[in-house]
A and B are shown apart, each in its own frame.
Chain A
Amino acid sequence: MLKLGGKVIEIQNDNSPNSKLYSVSTNPNLPLVLRKQKAFLIQSEDIPEGFSHYIFFDSTSSLTNKTPSNSTYTVLTDDFSYLGHDDVIRISSTKNNARVLFRAKASNNSFLITEQCNHYCLMCSQPPKVIDDSYIIEETFELITLLPKWTKEIGFTGGEPTLFGQRFLELLRHTQSQLPNTGIHILSNGRTFKDIHYAKQYAEISHFDMMVGIPIYSSDPAKHDYIVQAKGAFDETIRGILNLKRFNQKVEIRVVIHKQSIDGLVELCEFIGRNLLFVDHVALMGLEMMGFTRANLETLWIDPYDYKDTLSEAVKLLNTYGITTSVYNHQLCLVNKDVLPFYRKSISDWKNEYAIECNGCKKQSECGGFFSSGIKHGYSSNLKPFL
């Protein structure tokens, strides 16, 4: 697991009370006029002048005295040595910490823009908070301007991003303007789009590649409302999806599989085939052992080995209805063969690991593996390495 954020060893010469975002550069030959917006990542004793900030690691901290005068610097622990050109980092001198917000090498970067949510899902990996955290979305506006223009895709997640209403739409327009060639994936519960005017304004952004990933956990409204711990959520989510599709917007349905959702999974797939055939993608996803999941483990945990036939049936049904389907967050040895055409290695690289049982498995490179949280907090007892 990559460490994305943590305490720094030292922050030098920075008197600003707020945190600062820097785009990282490893190019010592960057034209001087461009250096002012960048933090230079020290990789040798050769330290070019004119960058607004310099980043050292514990192992290179002996060089800090060579920092050009009038410049600030930070010393990070060696955990951050994966940092590279075009990455974006937030350095906060008051809190004495740093967080990597964007990694140029990662295939997908997601930005959490709020911790507030109108759901309280039993298995939430990012438990919501009731606080004014609007500074996060404001910072995201700046972050977007620092991203490389070639970025293929970014994600906005939360919490519930649409709770910001108009400000969220402004963020999307801002992103479209700054990064005209970048796809946008949004994780939302879709309820805000029940307001047809909001859905219309969203559609009017006319983005070339923007999709909303919306969870539905059951075709039984009471079960869905229970899983997301919000009365009336199913009603609003369905209407939100219908409004988005009314304006030809891309919608993905995300189903997290656990003990509460597995019973009705096949019925849910039939419901999607009959009622929401026009969605662009359905993702059937394994449980992440984070946040509330661990508090509700008794209620949620089911060994993927025990539901593999149900998963096969669900995938077959969706595929029969012609719906583009993917299976995320599962291990190769815990799915039936018929699932393989739909199987994706989906866990973000920074939190992707394998179990001790996986040692020697020949298919590890094809396998999605586990969330780091799964390795730490529990996984199937039925793993069988391919030998």
Chain B
Amino acid sequence: MWHSQALACKKLSKFQPIQFYNNESGTYELLPFNFDKVSDDRYVITNLVGEYLTIDSKSLQDIVNHELSPTNNLYSKLRSKQFIREPDEAYPIELLALKLRTRFARLANFTNLHIFVVTLRCDHSCPYCQVSRQSEDKASFDMTTEMADKSLAMVFRSPSPAIKIEFQGGEPLLNFEMIKYVVTTAKKLNAVHQRNLAFVIATTLSLITEEILVFCKEHNIVISTSLDGPEDLHNANRPRPNKDSYQRFIDGLQKTRAILGYNQVSALMTTTDKSLPRVKDIIDEYLKLGFKGIFLRPLSPYGFAIKTRKFMSYNTERWLEFYKEGLDYIIQLNKNGIEFSEYYSALVLKKMMTSSDPGYVDLMNPAGIGIAAIVFNYDGNVYASDESRMLAEMGDSTFLLGNVLTNTYEEIILSDKLLDALDESFTLSAPMCSECAFEIYCGAEPVYHHAIHKDFLARKPESEFCKRNMTTFKHLINIMEDDSERKSLFIDWANKC
């Protein structure tokens, strides 16, 4: 039965061997890609939609010299990631176009994150803080209802289908009445605008009360807070009059989780020189308190961070050591069965391992200033980003786009200040960025580069932003190419992010 049937099939069939389907001419076209060396004989090639492959130098030469054989294993990998195509193939271009459109879809949506600085007053006096004031003078540092109304009118001018309003300070809870006013007014306006409206309060939790939390629960407001590490480190980084910052944070965290739910509060950390030897302690603190991950974040060079020289207290190399040590520890945690993410890596990995963009303002091109996030300050001033208002507090108003009391939305959004910064920092036309293998993972950072180099673009070999990110990208690629278990974990982070 078996044999007779098989013979019958053979008679009517003319199955061709796989060689028949290989490219006979041996010619292929290169599709656009960049490359860089990531370790001794490992090169990474990347394309404009973030696909990457690591290869050795000989393979790289073979590829560009059109000498790669269709039977080479690498040949099919290059095809399926759209690094090369065979003559007459149409799908690679369609896929590239589709993925590129997806990457840049956010541009059409325009501004999503709207930061409301409801007060500059604060109950903490952190040495690295850029903007806060220890003042009882409400009139000078609080947002008024008039400014809030004008700001909200501008918020809803953004065409974005999703609008996020984030309350910052100072300590925004010191002006909770204004938070209430903005939330209720925004919801009234949204009855007409019908956007996907979300609210976040960035607070130390030191002043959180049940009354505030009940309001948050009613309006689905989530909490973003700060945790710098174990008690001694947290208290040293974040001084309060009674040296009780940590204890107040713990109490506030418990209250918040009890009323809003465990996952409605996330924490951010700031790395000071005191943090540097203690990355494991810091991560353990996050673990102990039940957080699912940590955002390892260097100090930004703004405001008091420059003024108090805190920023200069460690260099990029030292930061990278801290980051790598922390990342290594977190990977080890996962290998031991503890699910825990490092969020900065996850943002980068999302760009590397998926075709979507995480929408992270510091890693965007064109830059996210104004067009992804915008700041409405307590005094009616509109800034291109959170860092922009910090610069302004230092006396540099380069990114002050206007004032809600005196300027129209068009004047603010179409101001030369904003457009020039976006235009001049655009990485795809920037020297060294445009041919950089990591351009697609990186971002234009005009505010940083202006603050440090007095130039939206700056010379990249001198840029610590460039150095820090390039090292991070190479490190992530190297460690996942060395170990498939790590790669699997990274794909998981990328998709959760």
Contacts and interface: CB of A to CB of B under 8 A. Distances in A.
Q: Note whether A and B form a binding pair.
A: yes
Interface of A: 120, 122, 127, 219-223, 225-226, 229, 231-232, 234-235, 238-239, 242, 264, 267, 271, 273-275, 277, 291-292, 294-297, 316-317, 320-322, 377
Interface stretch (B91-99, B108-116, B163-171): B91-99
A272 to B, nearest CB: 11
A296 B99 contact: no
A226 B16 contact: yes
B126 interface: no
Contact of B491 (A220, A295, A317): A317
Among A219, A220, A223, A275, the most chain B Cβ lie within 10 Å of the Cβ of A275
Tell me what chain A mostly uses at the interface: helix, strand, loop, or mixed. helix
A271 B53 CA distance: 13
B5 A294 contact: yes
A295 B6 contact: yes
B18 A226 contact: yes
Given A235-B89, A322-B495, A294 B18 contact: no
B79 interface: yes
A200 B356 CA distance: 26
B70 interface: yes
Given A274-B354, A295-B9, A219 B98 contact: no
A275 B51 CA distance: 10
Shortest 8 CB-CB contacts between residues of A and residues of B:
A295-B9, A220-B76, A219-B80, A238-B91, A225-B21, A226-B18, A226-B21, A222-B21
25 contacts: A120-B13, A127-B9, A127-B12, A219-B76, A220-B76, A220-B79, A223-B18, A225-B21, A238-B94, A238-B95, A239-B90, A239-B94, A242-B94, A242-B95, A267-B77, A271-B80, A275-B98, A277-B356, A291-B9, A294-B6, A294-B9, A295-B9, A295-B10, A316-B488, A321-B491
A85 B13 CA distance: 41
Contacts of A377: 2
A226 B17 CA distance: 7
B335 to A, nearest CB: 16
Given A273-B354, A297-B6, A221 B15 contact: no
A301 to B, nearest CB: 13
A242 B5 contact: no
Interface of B: 2, 5-6, 9-10, 12-13, 15-18, 20-23, 51, 70, 76-77, 79-80, 86, 88-91, 94-95, 98-99, 354-356, 488, 491-492, 495
Nearest to B91: A238
Contact of B95 (A222, A229, A231, A275): A275
A263 to B, nearest CB: 10
Given A295-B13, A320-B492, A320-B495, A242 B80 contact: no
A192 to B, nearest CB: 15
A210 to B, nearest CB: 23
Contact of A229 (B15, B70, B90, B99): B15
A296 B15 CA distance: 9
Contacts of A316: 488
Given A226-B16, A242-B95, A267-B77, 13 more contacts: A219-B80, A223-B21, A223-B76, A225-B21, A226-B20, A229-B15, A232-B88, A242-B94, A271-B80, A275-B98, A277-B356, A295-B6, A295-B10
B9 A292 contact: yes
Nearest to A230: B21
Contacts of B76: 219-223, 264
Nearest to B484: A313
A266 to B, nearest CB: 10
Contacts of B51: 274
Nearest to B23: A222
Nearest to B17: A226
A320 B491 contact: yes
Given A120-B15, A222-B22, A320-B495, A294 B79 contact: no
A127 B12 CA distance: 10
Contacts of A225: 21
Nearest to A222: B21
Among B16, B21, B356, the most chain A Cβ lie within 10 Å of the Cβ of B21
Contact of A221 (B6, B9, B10, B79): B79
A231 B23 CA distance: 10
B495 A234 contact: no
Contacts of A120: 13, 15
B24 to A, nearest CB: 10
Given A229-B15, A377-B2, A235 B491 contact: no
A222 B24 CA distance: 11
A239 B91 contact: yes
A321 B5 CA distance: 42
Nearest to B491: A320
A294 B99 CA distance: 40
Contacts of B6: 294-295, 297
A269 to B, nearest CB: 11
A155 B5 CA distance: 28
A257 to B, nearest CB: 18
A274 B50 CA distance: 10
Given A220-B80, A234-B91, A294 B2 contact: yes
